[in-house]
């Protein structure tokens, strides 16, 4: 599927929307600080209650790890906005808060910021599938692989690996080293600084609450949040009618608008995920604070028609594994086996 300066039939171009949506970029200091408080305080409350219950032998208290994980996901999204320079007008404030939040989300701020910037700069480009994206093969690439190569790709794309084993590995292990940026001094400083902060949090928690109750709640909360976060990232780009193109026909802004989904979540979930489901608008203007994304949809409801996914429709995305260049869409392994 090639991109050009025009929009798909019946849609306005990405260039039009870039111009229209630019007015939503200004963050509000009081609102941003309030959103941080509204996220950290419930997270701390649920985590504390769960830890105290488990420390007193009431293991049912681990159930409170679920709402704690939901607020941890939201905290990650606020860190995400800091990384884009959109939560505060000041770069220094964005970086300061981003580094602190990174300790709580187990995500080194500077290292992740560089990786994520790469994702935004190459999304939808088949010739630049690099750091910061879920691995994807085209049909032709998959068919050219050896039996072992196909098996490894199938293993990687299995839902249990993508949404359970993978998130646990990423947040507990992979982020402890600057994987993919091993020669970057700043990446090492970011990762090691976050590791030090995490060590202090762990040591304090274990000292105050005991190793078993603290680590049980900590581990459960992070695992659930990581799984939910990876699922959100997955459906933002791995849906049937997403867009991929080779370098010569790829356009950054058209890829942002048409290659990113609008994950239309119910309002409570949209709030908990900091409107990250409005991903097509976010990719067009990453400097728009998350709390202005809803305003953009309200003012321009036609944006809801771009690559919309409801919760039910999103479940089918888990089967999509390959990009079919000839058909211009994502397909699953079963479709690959079917005769033309």
155-209 per-position pLDDT tens digit: 999 999 999 999 999 999 999 999 999 999 999 999 999 999 999 999 999 999 9
Please give the pLDDT value at position 133: 83
Please give the pLDDT value at position 98: 98
Q: Does 340 score more than 80 pLDDT?
A: no
Contact 265, 311 (CB under 8 A): yes
For 44, phi then psi, to 5°, come to: -65, -40
Q: Does 12 score more than 90 pLDDT?
A: no
Contact 51, 220 (CB under 8 A): no
Please give the pLDDT value at position 4: 35
Q: For residue 190, how many other CB atoms are within 10 A of its CB?
A: 24
Show Cβ contacts of residue 8 under 8 Å, excluding neighbours closer than 6 positions. 258
| pTM, 2 dp | 0.93
Please give the pLDDT value at position 339: 53
Show Cβ contacts of residue 135 under 8 Å, excluding neighbours closer than 6 positions. 129, 153, 156, 157
Quote the tokens at residue 302.
């036609």
Paired with 308 in beta bridges are 262
Structural domain boundaries of the chain?
14-337
pLDDT tens string 238-255: 999 999 999 999 999 999
């Amino acid at each position: 599927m090639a991109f050009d300066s025009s929009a798909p039939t019946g849609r306005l171009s990405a260039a039009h929307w870039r111009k229209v949506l630019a007015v939503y970029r200004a963050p509000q200091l009081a609102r941003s600080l309030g959103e941080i408080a509204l996220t950290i305080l419930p997270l701390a409350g649920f985590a504390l209650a769960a830890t105290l219950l488990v420390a007193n032998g009431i293991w049912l208290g681990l159930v409170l790890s679920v709402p704690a994980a939901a607020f941890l996901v939201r905290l990650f999204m606020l860190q995400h906005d800091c990384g884009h320079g959109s939560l505060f007008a000041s770069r220094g404030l964005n970086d300061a808060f981003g580094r602190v939040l990174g300790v709580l989300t187990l995500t080194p701020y500077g290292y992740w910021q560089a990786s994520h910037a790469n994702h935004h700069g190459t999304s939808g480009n088949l010739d630049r599938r690099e750091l910061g994206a879920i691995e994807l093969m085209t049909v032709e690439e998959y068919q050219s692989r050896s039996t072992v190569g196909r098996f490894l790709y199938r293993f990687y794309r299995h839902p249990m690996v993508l949404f359970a084993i993978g998130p646990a590995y990423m947040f507990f292990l992979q982020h402890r080293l600057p994987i993919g940026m091993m020669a970057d001094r700043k990446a090492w400083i970011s990762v090691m600084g976050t590791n030090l902060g995490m060590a202090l949090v762990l040591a304090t928690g274990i000292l105050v609450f005991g190793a078993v109750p603290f680590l049980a709640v900590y581990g459960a909360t992070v695992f659930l949040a990581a799984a939910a976060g990876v699922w959100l990232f997955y459906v933002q780009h791995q849906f049937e009618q997403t867009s991929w193109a080779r370098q010569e026909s790829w356009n950054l802004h058209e890829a942002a608008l048409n290659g990113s989904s609008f994950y239309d979540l119910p309002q409570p979930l949209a709030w908990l995920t900091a409107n990250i489901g409005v991903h097509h608008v976010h990719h067009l203007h990453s400097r728009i604070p998350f709390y202005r994304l809803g305003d953009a949809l309200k003012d321009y409801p036609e944006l809801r028609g771009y690559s919309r996914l409801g919760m039910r429709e999103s479940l089918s995305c888990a089967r999509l594994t390959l990009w079919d260049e000839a058909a211009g869409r994502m397909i699953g392994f079963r479709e690959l086996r079917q005769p033309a």
